[in-house]
A and B are shown apart, each in its own frame.
Chain A
Amino acid sequence: MPSVISISNLSKTYASGVQALKRVDLEIYQGEILALLGPNGAGKTTLIGIICGIVTPSTGIVLTDGYDIVRDYRMARSKIGLVPQELATDMFETVWDTVNFSRGLFGLAPNHAYIESVLQQLSLWDKRKQEIMALSGGMKRRLMIAKALAHEPEILFLDEPTAGVDVELRRDMWHMVRTLREQGTTIILTTHYIEEAEEMADRIGVIRKGEMILVEDKTSLMKQLGKKQLSLHLQQPMAEIPEALAQWQLSLDGEGHDLLYTFDMHDEHKGISSLLKRMSELSINFTDLNTSQSSLEEIFVELVNGQQ
């Protein structure tokens, strides 16, 4: 897949001395949904801010569709839509005016039919003549998305789109993200919710203290995370695993007292029952058993705590 945003060696030190990003390298591929996971203060918003032109990088290069974000900012920025983390809207303007303003700001001629379709999609059409300050918080959030989409961006950044958002809006938002993706838009979102990343993203990047500590395909990440372990405490310790049990790829622990079977919970069908049956045929008895599973949550916590 071609890379649509290419980040190399990106660092940011704020005037306060805080180093928010440390030599970040990242490729974002065309048409994918990339989720950036990381605790508060990890540097997610700073990273997005630099790509969008709001924060100046200290070092490093970002190319958007091949255009340098500093030197060729016009081309680079015209491809990007941004929905920032904080709600920031005008007050006295109407919904209709402010969304058309956004389109003009990005250098495009008016296109009322397109703006209408965006407002329809976000259930804002009925409110188009209202002043922004009369909108509820959820509606303002929809409006910010509409503004970001007004110039038909190829790349959309959503900075914590579902933080403090009600269930209905969250559902609509994911629906919209999927629709956009089907139309070929590349989407980068940040979130605290692992389930969200799990449900929505193609790839997941984890940021900790300004460092990109992991970027991986969701499916392969889930494979790692989907591992479950069955531990059998044996009556008689074993020196080595019998040839007859080789097909389960077992391992030994606790000085031969514990027999460990690692399996993928996604395609475990009859591994456990056949293993137990085989063991009883071989008269290998156990006194206790338990299973354990590392959740995405656990892995994530481990990652961000740096105890890999």
Chain B
Amino acid sequence: MKQQPQGTKSTPNRFNHHGVWAIYRFELERARRTLLQSLITPVMTTSLYFVVFGAAIGSRMNEVDGIPYGAFIVPGLIMLSLFTESLMNASFGIHFPKFTGTIYEVLSAPISAFEIALAYVGAAATKSVILGLVILATSTLFVPVSILHPVWMATFLILTATTFSLFGFIIGIWAKDFEQLQLIPMLIVTPLTFLGGAFYSINMLPEAWRSITLFNPVVYLISGFRWSFYGVSDVGHSISLAMTLAFLLICVGIVWWIFKTGYRLKH
């Protein structure tokens, strides 16, 4: 413990809601400026997936788990976008100020680490959730989609967006340049998503491969999300929820550690 010098004043911590709101708005404003681009790209990509997977492949492969193939891939597609958009938004949001040097202002402001993370991650998650809903709406134009458990659906959507935004926030702080910023999403997340049953049920895999797949955390996220739509899942939805929460907690822990040590933020 440090000796407290004489005459030191002290006040209770007061939540800096103006500060959180300022960063949150700044981040959403950034998305609004590129609204067209940030919505057209995913909508187009989704449409292409439906054309390729839904129409071309789906016509040969009618049903998975009793669900028309086109409808079966909707939750996986939303998750895929949710992962990449959350990662990109959150990592860019914190990395760019580091890159331009404007981070000095946030660091010198009377705002806590928790509040900074809340603002950046909250903004990135908000954008991802909106995007997920846009993709959902787009997909209803192509295939009949039903949502059996809307509350669970919203829960998985928000939890996943938050978790991956936290993950992105960590990457944004860790990355030394823009190349590293792209590295983890490209090398890890996209492969894990494709192998994680976004476009098929892992029950369709050979037994050995299926067991390996169960080590892929993304399997649980997609499975739980799909269950909230159609009531069918590769693994139980409570296990999915538990895995999502565990992943979330790990990210929260890492962020807490980063701020506690000032890792790559302060010299």
- Count of inter-chain pairs, beta carbons less than 8 A: 109
* B100 pairs with A75, CB closer than 8 A: no
With a CB–CB cut-off of 8 A, which chain B residues contact A105?
18-19, 22-23, 105-106, 109, 111
Query: Residue A146 at the B interface, CB < 8 A?
Result: no
* A106 pairs with B110, CB closer than 8 A: yes
Q: How large is the interface on A (under 10, 10 to 19, 20 to 34, 35 or more residues)?
A: 35 or more
* B111 pairs with A88, CB closer than 8 A: no
Given A55-B266, A93-B29, also A66-B101 (CB < 8 A): no
With a CB–CB cut-off of 8 A, which chain A residues contact B21?
104
Query: Residue B49 at the A interface, CB < 8 A?
Result: no
With a CB–CB cut-off of 8 A, which chain A residues contact B8?
63, 66-68, 71-72
Given A93-B29, A104-B18, also A67-B9 (CB < 8 A): yes
Q: In this complex, what residue of A is CB-closest to B26? A: A101
With a CB–CB cut-off of 8 A, which chain A residues contact B9?
65-67, 72, 75
Interface mask (B11-31 → A, CB under 8 Å = 1, otherwise 0): 101101011011101100110
Flag the segment in A77-85, A172-180, A207-215 that touches B.
A77-85
Interface mask (A144-181 → B, CB under 8 Å = 1, otherwise 0): 00010000000000000000000000000000000000
With a CB–CB cut-off of 8 A, which chain B residues contact A89?
100, 102
Given A56-B262, A63-B5, A108-B18, also A88-B102 (CB < 8 A): yes
Partner of B105, one of A71, A78, A108, A147: A147
With a CB–CB cut-off of 8 A, which chain A residues contact B2?
61
Given A75-B110, A105-B22, also A90-B102 (CB < 8 A): yes
With both chains docked as a complex, state the minimum distance between the C-beta of A149 and any C-beta of chain B, in angstroms: 13
Interface mask (B103-133 → A, CB under 8 Å = 1, otherwise 0): 0111111111000000000000000000000
With a CB–CB cut-off of 8 A, which chain A residues contact B262?
56
Q: In this complex, what residue of B is CB-closest to A6? A: B5
Q: In this complex, what residue of A is CB-closest to B111? A: A105
Query: Residue B267 at the A interface, CB < 8 A?
Result: yes
Given A56-B266, A105-B109, A106-B19, also A67-B10 (CB < 8 A): yes
Partner of A92, one of B18, B33, B105: B33
With a CB–CB cut-off of 8 A, which chain A residues contact B19?
104-107
Residue from A15, A55, A74 whose CB has the most chain B CB atoms within 10 Å: A74
In whole angstroms, what is the CA distance A194 to B266 when docked?
31
With both chains docked as a complex, state the minimum distance between the C-beta of B170 and any C-beta of chain A, in angstroms: 20
With a CB–CB cut-off of 8 A, which chain A residues contact B111?
105, 107
With a CB–CB cut-off of 8 A, which chain B residues contact A68?
4-5, 8
Query: Residue B66 at the A interface, CB < 8 A?
Result: no
With a CB–CB cut-off of 8 A, which chain B residues contact A74?
11, 13-14, 16, 110, 112
Interface size on B, residues (CB 8 A): 36
With a CB–CB cut-off of 8 A, which chain B residues contact A103?
18, 22
With both chains docked as a complex, state the minimum distance between the C-beta of B120 and any C-beta of chain A, in angstroms: 13
With a CB–CB cut-off of 8 A, which chain A residues contact B105?
82, 102, 105, 147
Interface mask (A9-21 → B, CB under 8 Å = 1, otherwise 0): 0000011000000
Query: Residue B7 at the A interface, CB < 8 A?
Result: yes
Query: Residue A109 at the B interface, CB < 8 A?
Result: yes
* B16 pairs with A53, CB closer than 8 A: no
Query: Residue A216 at the B interface, CB < 8 A?
Result: no
* A77 pairs with B110, CB closer than 8 A: yes
Chain A residues numbered 202-246 whose CB sits less than 8 Å from any CB in chain B? none
Residue from B10, B108, B112, B267 whose CB has the most chain A CB atoms within 10 Å: B108
* B101 pairs with A86, CB closer than 8 A: yes
* B107 pairs with A54, CB closer than 8 A: yes
Show 19 A/B contacts (Cβ-Cβ < 8 Å), sorted by A: A8-B5, A53-B108, A65-B9, A66-B9, A67-B10, A67-B11, A72-B8, A75-B11, A75-B110, A84-B101, A84-B104, A91-B100, A92-B30, A102-B105, A103-B18, A104-B18, A105-B23, A106-B109, A109-B18
**Given A54-B108, A72-B11, 16 new contacts (CB under 8 A):** A49-B267, A54-B107, A66-B9, A67-B8, A67-B10, A73-B110, A74-B110, A75-B11, A97-B29, A101-B22, A103-B18, A103-B22, A104-B21, A105-B19, A107-B19, A147-B105
Which 8 A-B residue pairings sit nearest by Cβ, starting from the closest?
A: A104-B22, A88-B101, A74-B110, A66-B9, A77-B110, A52-B108, A107-B16, A78-B110
